[in-house]
């Protein structure tokens, strides 16, 4: 048996040996030859010439190459007729005058094979004498020894017309059954291909949507990824070429620019087209349309393809177009197709009668348009945030300068008063100790208020431009080799305010931070990390009682870097333990103490910590000692941050 792996008949029928057994069963005790001529390869399925099924006359004739060629040529001609002849079977005479039968096998209207059998004489027709004369002619024509064929004529089987019709009906019944089986398999294959292609289309859309909505990529990367997606979809739908056009800008607003090309040379990238009114009318709404290409009246894009390669352009007979909704303007997604090209394997054909495939392309175009709009919206938001940021930074800087000036004047007054007390005590000769204390305390209050005002200006900036919302900022990071030194640097800014508040001690537990060295990665942009820890220490200073201690402690907790700020002062109740991180919230205890504050310091601190990928929490206060009739409460704020592997700074 010949190699038939590429045959459509074998693909649809499957087990050709089982078909042979069924065919022999339909023919019964048939002495003539039979075979199946494949429509697509023009080869015989069983190669009957190599078997003993031929009668002696046919075997002798086919033994000569010229004779075999004549027989095959005649079979091929009858198969050609079967392709256009819709009859159930054809009864005909071969070139030697024998009676043969051709039974076509069609699947879905397509001729896939033709069954041939016969090589007989029909009784009472005078065929014997005709065959005898043709046999003698063939002997002479092919140079055979005399009698090679004529001696076999009397041995050719003679059958009745009824018997031949009966065999034909049996083979026809088998052909019908096989056609039905093949049609079912063809339908199944088509459905499987369609579902497979739909799944691939869905995956292309999913990946494109995910990659195009990546806010970290540039516009060039956005269009490069769009081009890859458009090309994958082009191959899937079997299109010859594809293109994405977006509106021009400025003086070119009346034209569209090719920002993505697929299946076309690089020279098409960046071309500008003035779309005709018909194209615009075809794209009303967001539903795609397949239109027939008119080579006599090509559109702008089609015309440029014709100028590039006229033979390529002439094969374009359909164009798929869909509008890309790009905000207040509209782009175009276009695919150029040829109906006869089966690049997609017949599984994903686009036409106006197939809404599934059309819907897939509409979803694809919608994904591109949505990603484009999201990206442009993000750019506008970024520009707005930058404008807002610049303005707020200026205001914050001016406020900080103003409070710095106040703080400088207060510091000068403090130093002047201390000098007078030390070197010119007579200057306060008429002042009572109470008056002097009141004056010194007021100067201290001015200094403390100036410090709080400067931090308030910074917190207002951080709360207005949330670090968490700035996902498009390229943060600068640093791995801290000496964490204790960093904490001491932060705490140093609050030693003065702590003294003004009569805090006994502001202590950094340096040893506890040693395990974090080289394993703590912080954002250094705008001193964000320092600002967050500073807000926690500032909060502790505000609400600690005089004579108490504020402790800053480090460590490792559940494979996370830990920073804790402990203080002893007013109570933080369980009902307020989360609310204190809300913007503008102040607890009853904080309000009653009249400590300066706006309720945004802890909010900003948590925002910054979460930008680091960490958490900031507080525990309800624990009861402490009672001094001077006042109950002291121990409160702890805990920062947990991602912990780098050991020796991370070396990598």
171 and 223 in a common domain: no
| Highest mean pLDDT, choosing among 35-44, 46-55, 191-200, 509-518 | 509-518
Which whole-number Å values give the CA distances from 141 to 59, 64, 75, 147, 150, in the listed order?
17, 12, 20, 13, 14
Kindly provide the b/e burial profile for residues 251-264, where b requires at least 16 CB atoms within 10 angstroms of the residue's own CB.
eeeebbbbbbbbbb
Residue 5, both tokens: 């792996």
pLDDT value of position 640 = 96
The shares of helix, strand and coil residues in the chain, as percent rounded to the nearest 5, are 50, 20, 30
268 and 417 in a common domain: no
Query: Does 370 map to a domain?
Result: no
Considering only CA atoms, give the Rg of the chain.
46
Tell me, what CATH number does 111's domain have?
3.30.450
Nearest Cα to 286, choosing from 236, 323, 252, 314? 323
pLDDT tens digits along 304-345 = 999 999 888 888 888 888 888 887 778 889 899 887 655 444
Q: Three-class SS string for 319-371?
A: EEEEEEEECCEEEEEEEEECCCCCCCCCCCCCCCCCHHHHHHHHHHHHHHHHH
461 and 475 in a common domain: no
pLDDT value of position 614 = 94
Q: Whole-angstrom Cα distance, residue 499 to residue 546?
A: 9
119 and 12 in a common domain: yes
pLDDT tens digits along 606-624 = 999 999 999 999 999 998 8
Query: Does 365 map to a domain?
Result: no
Q: Whole-angstrom Cα distance, residue 121 to residue 128?
A: 7
Q: Whole-angstrom Cα distance, residue 389 to residue 395?
A: 10
Domain ends where: 398, 432, 465?
Answer: 465
Nearest Cα to 506, choosing from 517, 514, 496? 496
Indicate the length of the chain as a whole number. Answer: 651
Residue 134, both tokens: 């043709």
50 and 145 in a common domain: yes
Give the mean pLDDT of 361-374.
Answer: 88
37 and 144 in a common domain: yes
* Residue carrying the six token digits 């300066």: 596
Give the mean pLDDT of 49-54.
Answer: 57
485 and 634 in a common domain: yes
Q: Three-class SS string for 28-91?
A: CCCCCCEEEEECCCCCECCCHHHCCCCCHHHHHHHCCHHHHHHHHHHHHHHHHHHHHCCCCCEE
Q: Whole-angstrom Cα distance, residue 99 to residue 118?
A: 6
Domain ends where: 320, 353, 386?
Answer: 353
Q: Which residue has the higher pLDDT, 345 or 184?
A: 184
pLDDT value of position 343 = 46
CA torsion sign for 399, 403, 409, 412 is negative
Pick the range with the lowest mean pLDDT from 138-147, 199-208, 361-370, 459-468. Answer: 459-468
Q: Whole-angstrom Cα distance, residue 126 to residue 18?
A: 38
401 pLDDT above the threshold of 70: no
598 pLDDT above the threshold of 80: no
Query: Does 384 map to a domain?
Result: yes
Residue % of the chain over a pLDDT of 70 = 84
β-strands 329-337, 241-247 pairing: antiparallel
92 and 114 in a common domain: yes
pLDDT value of position 260 = 94
Tell me, what CATH number does 235's domain have?
3.30.450.40
pLDDT value of position 648 = 55
Tell me, what CATH number does 642's domain have?
3.30.565.10
Give the mean pLDDT of 93-119.
Answer: 86
476 and 450 in a common domain: no
Query: Does 634 map to a domain?
Result: yes
Confirm whether pTM is higher than 0.75.
Answer: no
- Give the phi and the psi of residue 272 in degrees, each rounded to 5: -110, 140
pLDDT tens digits along 261-298 = 999 999 999 999 887 765 655 555 556 677 777 778 88
111 and 49 in a common domain: yes
Domain that includes residue 255, residue range: 215-353
With cut-offs at 50, 70 and 90, classify the pLDDT of residue 6: low
With cut-offs at 50, 70 and 90, classify the pLDDT of residue 562: very high
Give the mean pLDDT of 363-373.
Answer: 89
Query: Does 389 map to a domain?
Result: yes
Query: Does 333 map to a domain?
Result: yes
Query: Does 402 map to a domain?
Result: yes
603 pLDDT above the threshold of 80: yes
DSSP string across 572-626: --GGGTTGGGSTT---HHHHHTT----S-HHHHHHHHHHHTT-EEEEEEEEEEEE
Query: Does 198 map to a domain?
Result: no
With cut-offs at 50, 70 and 90, classify the pLDDT of residue 595: low
Q: Whole-angstrom Cα distance, residue 437 to residue 448?
A: 16
Domain ends where: 353, 383, 404?
Answer: 353
Residue 155, both tokens: 């041995």
334 and 295 in a common domain: yes
Number of domains in the chain: 4
pLDDT, averaged across the chain: 82
Give the mean pLDDT of 473-491.
Answer: 91
């Amino acid at each position: 048996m010949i190699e038939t792996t590429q045959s459509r008949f074998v693909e649809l029928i499957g087990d050709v040996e089982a078909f042979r057994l069924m065919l022999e069963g339909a023919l019964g005790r048939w002495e003539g030859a039979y075979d199946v001529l494949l429509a697509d390869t023009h080869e015989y399925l069983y190669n009957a010439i190599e078997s003993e099924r031929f009668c002696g006359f046919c075997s002798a004739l086919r033994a000569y190459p010229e004779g075999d060629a004549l027989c095959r040529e005649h079979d091929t001609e009858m198969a050609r007729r079967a392709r256009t002849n819709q009859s159930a079977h054809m009864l005909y005479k071969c070139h030697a005058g024998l009676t043969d039968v051709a039974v076509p096998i069609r699947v879905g209207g397509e001729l896939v094979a033709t069954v041939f059998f016969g090589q007989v004489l029909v009784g009472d027709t005078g065929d014997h004498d005709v065959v005898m004369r043709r046999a003698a002619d063939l002997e002479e024509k092919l140079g055979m020894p005399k009698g090679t064929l004529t001696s076999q004529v009397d041995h050719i089987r003679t059958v009745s017309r009824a018997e031949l019709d009966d065999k034909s009906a049996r083979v026809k019944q088998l052909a019908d059954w096989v056609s039905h089986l093949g049609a079912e398999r063809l339908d199944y294959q088509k459905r499987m291909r369609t579902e497979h292609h739909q799944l691939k289309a869905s995956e292309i859309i999913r990946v494109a949507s995910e990659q195009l909505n990546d806010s970290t990529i540039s516009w060039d990367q956005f269009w490069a990824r769009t081009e890859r997606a458009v090309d994958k979809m082009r191959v899937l739908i079997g299109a010859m070429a594809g293109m994405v056009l977006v509106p021009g800008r400025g003086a070119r607003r009346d034209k569209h620019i090719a920002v993505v090309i697929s299946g076309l040379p690089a020279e098409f990238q960046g071309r500008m087209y003035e779309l005709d009114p018909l194209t615009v009318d075809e794209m009303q709404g967001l539903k795609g349309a397949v239109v027939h290409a008119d080579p006599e009246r090509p559109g702008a894009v089609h015309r440029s393809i014709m100028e590039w390669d006229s033979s390529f352009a002439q094969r374009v007979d359909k164009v798929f177009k869909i509008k890309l909704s790009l905000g207040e303007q509209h782009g175009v997604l276009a695919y150029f197709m040829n109906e006869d090209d089966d690049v997609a394997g017949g599984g994903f054909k686009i036409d106006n009668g197939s809404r599934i495939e059309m819907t897939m392309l509409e979803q694809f175009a919608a994904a591109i348009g949505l990603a484009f709009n999201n990206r442009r919206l993000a750019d506008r938001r970024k520009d707005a945030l930058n404008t807002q940021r610049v303005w707020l930074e200026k205001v914050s800087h001016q406020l900080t300068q103003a409070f710095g000036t106040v703080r400088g004047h207060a510091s000068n007054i403090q130093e002047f008063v201390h000098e007078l007390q030390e070197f010119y005590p007579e200057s306060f000769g008429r002042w009572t100790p109470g008056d002097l204390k009141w004056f010194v305390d007021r100067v201290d209050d001015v200094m403390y208020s100036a410090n709080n005002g400067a931090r308030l200006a910074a917190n207002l900036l951080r709360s207005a431009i949330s670090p968490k919302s700035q996902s498009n900022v390229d943060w600068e990071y640093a791995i801290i080799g000496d964490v204790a030194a960093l904490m001491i640097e932060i705490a140093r800014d609050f030693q003065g305010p702590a003294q003004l508040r009569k805090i006994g001690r502001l202590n950094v537990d340096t040893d506890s931070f040693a395990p974090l060295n080289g394993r703590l990665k912080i954002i250094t942009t705008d001193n964000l990390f320092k600002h967050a820890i500073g807000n926690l220490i500032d909060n502790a200073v505000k609400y600690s009682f005089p004579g108490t201690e504020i402790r800053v402690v480090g460590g490792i907790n559940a494979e996370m870097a830990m920073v804790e700020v402990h203080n002893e002062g007013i109570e933080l109740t369980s009902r307020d333990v989360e609310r204190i991180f809300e913007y503008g919230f102040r607890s009853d205890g904080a309000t009653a103490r009249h400590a300066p504050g706006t309720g945004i310091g802890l909010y900003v601190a948590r925002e910054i910590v979460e930008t680091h990928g960490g958490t900031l929490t507080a525990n309800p206060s624990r009861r402490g000692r009672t001094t001077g009739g006042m109950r002291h409460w121990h409160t702890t704020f805990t920062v947990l941050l991602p912990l780098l592997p050991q020796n991370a700074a070396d990598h």
